[in-house]
Amino acid sequence: MPAKRPPIPLTRERIIEAALHIADGQGLRRLTMRRLGDALQVEAMAIYHHLPRGKDALMDALAEHVTAVHAEPAGSWQETARAWCRASRDALREHPGVLALALTKPPKGRAAAAVREQTEQLAEAGLPDAAEAVRALRAYVFGAVAVEVQQSGWADPPGDEGETEPWRPPSRGGGSAAADADFERGLDALLAGLARS
């Protein structure tokens, strides 16, 4: 018989990765400490050693993961803002299963740090009210992704007919070209509006 292969050590990162996989594939309501343990080949209780506050900590970590993006300052504040918005949209679209958390939980930790960093970058690039601009930009991205994911029908059958088929992220590759164009067009308009005020 083959030797029992040495177990991969449990880490916060592996836990979050597995949790995202479950949430994206089966929905947030089926993300369960016990299921998560199974996916990690471990008893559910082992997770508490890495996330002491349990499921609440897990939810916070998921929201943070999908929301703590980074972008380098570009030439103008407009280009910097554009980079931030694209990065945020990509991160949110990649994990529709935790979108509800991301749109709803106030930013903490690295997510809050990202908001501050973005604000500083825009302020340094000469934008007068950078805090208000960041609020408007975040709102724009949140709304755009929300309607896009809604329209993709991601939450429609939380397990409809056949087997539990994992979900395909909204049009990887082709199809969503229209959504991309809409997003860029709206973003241009918003940036123009922010420049005028």
List residues near a second copy by CB under 8 A: 56, 99-101, 103-107, 132, 135-136, 138-144, 146-147, 149-151, 153-156, 158, 182, 185-186, 189-190, 193, 197
Q: Does 7 bind DNA (CB under 7 A)?
A: yes
CA 36 to CA 45: how far, in whole Å? Answer: 10
- Closer CB to a second copy, residue 124 or residue 132? 132
Give me the helices (H) in the chain, please. 12-26, 33-39, 54-67, 77-94, 99-104, 109-124, 130-151, 177-196
Structure tokens at 116: 């501050």
Integer angstrom CA distances of residue 100 from 50, 66, 127: 24, 11, 31
- Closer CB to DNA, residue 32 or residue 76? 32
Size of residue set near DNA by CB under 7 A: 21
Closest distance of CB 85 from a second copy, Å: 11
Structure tokens at 73: 């300052």
Of the ranges 24-32, 92-100, 131-139, 141-149, which one interacts with DNA (CB under 7 A)? 24-32
Q: Does 10 bind DNA (CB under 7 A)?
A: yes
With both helix axes pointing from N to C terminus, report the angle between 54-67 and 12-26 in degrees, rounded to the nearest 10: 80
CA 10 to CA 23: how far, in whole Å? Answer: 19
Q: Does 56 bind DNA (CB under 7 A)?
A: yes
Which residues of this protein are in contact with DNA, per CB under 7 A?
A: 7, 9-10, 30-35, 37, 42-46, 48-50, 54-56
